[in-house]
Amino acid sequence: MSLFRCPACGAPLTRGERAYTCPGRHSYDISKEGYTHLLMANQKNSAAPGDDKGMAAARRDFLSKDYYRPLRDALCKLVDRYTGDSPAILDAGCGEGYYTAGIYQSLLSAGKSPRMAGIDISKFILRTAAKREKAIEFAVASSYRLPLSDESVDVLVNCFSPLAIEEFLRVLKPGGAFLYVVPAADHLWELKQVLYENPYPNEEKETPYEGFTYQEIVPVEATITLDNQTDIHNLFQMTPYYWKTPKSGSDRLAALDRLTTRIAFRVHVFKKA
């Protein structure tokens, strides 16, 4: 049985060789890459929502070089700590599946039997995710309308993605863990110094959410060196700065063939009360 449920009627879905089906005879094709489409037409805000092909390729190429491995390793340890032997895990806003696949493989190596799903609103980025790890279920879907049953998930991971607290609370089991990754104050500080005349640090705050209790805030920090323009541009393209940087800043970055910058994250860990 799939972790997904039918977005049309809410019934459980069964994953077949070529499609997901429910008892109500709704059917959802599985793409050649391995993901399905569970975003209803009336839930779309554009013809192709989410990251476009260029952003998807930039994320794939940059993350595949393990620049953000410290964050992936931290998430793997946390998910292991907060799960039992056979956990159900959702990566909400999974992107190209770098963290999703890493967590899944880590749990297997720890002797566990995970069931894992990832959702993202971009079909382009899921093509990479589904090819990265065939044992994980991937679907085009919105975090605000998760195609999962109530109280069906042991751990929910959200890494730089939309925060849909009510839905996260609905799908998590009582006592389930919610891992929320945000950038720390000085994340990519040296990159921002190139892009902007007067960069400012990211805001850091602790926000309690109704229905959850804080467990811990885990810092993840490292320094990375990008020694070619391709990697520098890929990092730039997968950040929000790509859309709001003045041309002068973009030009300064494009002139570099080497960049050393801090990476800094905070993993906020909650439990469903």
- Identify the helix (H) or strand (E) that includes residue 28: strand 27-29
The stretches of the chain forming alpha helices (DSSP H) are: 53-63, 69-81, 98-109, 123-132, 165-171, 189-195, 229-237, 241-244, 247-254
pLDDT at position 1: 81
Task: Kindly state whether residue 237 falls inside one of the protein's structural domains.
Answer: yes
Task: Kindly state whether residue 261 falls inside one of the protein's structural domains.
Answer: yes
158 pLDDT higher than 50: yes
pLDDT at position 76: 98
Task: Kindly state whether residue 20 falls inside one of the protein's structural domains.
Answer: no
81 pLDDT tier (thresholds 50, 70, 90): very high
Domain containing 260 — which CATH number? 3.40.50.150
Q: Into how many domains does the chain fold?
A: 1
Could you give the percent of the chain with pLDDT greater than 70?
A: 96
pTM of structure: 0.94
Task: Kindly state whether residue 38 falls inside one of the protein's structural domains.
Answer: no
Helix, strand, or coil (residue 162): coil
Task: Kindly state whether residue 24 falls inside one of the protein's structural domains.
Answer: no
pLDDT at position 51: 62
pLDDT at position 40: 83
Total Cβ atoms within 10 A of residue 183: 18
On whether the CB atoms of residues 195 and 250 are closer than 8 A, the answer is: yes
pLDDT at position 119: 98
pLDDT at position 50: 52
Task: Kindly state whether residue 202 falls inside one of the protein's structural domains.
Answer: yes
Task: Kindly state whether residue 13 falls inside one of the protein's structural domains.
Answer: no
Average pLDDT, integer, range 133-147? 96
Could you give the percent of the chain with pLDDT greater than 90?
A: 91
Average pLDDT, integer, range 249-257? 97
45 pLDDT higher than 70: no
Task: Kindly state whether residue 222 falls inside one of the protein's structural domains.
Answer: yes
197-214 tens-digit pLDDT: 999 999 999 999 999 999
| Range of the structural domain that residue 129 is part of | 49-272
CA distance 33 to 43: 23
169-185 tens-digit pLDDT: 999 999 999 999 999 99
47 pLDDT higher than 50: no
Average pLDDT, integer, range 41-59? 68
pLDDT at position 19: 97
On whether the CB atoms of residues 177 and 268 are closer than 8 A, the answer is: no
247 pLDDT higher than 50: yes
145 pLDDT tier (thresholds 50, 70, 90): very high
Structure tokens at 60: 């794939």
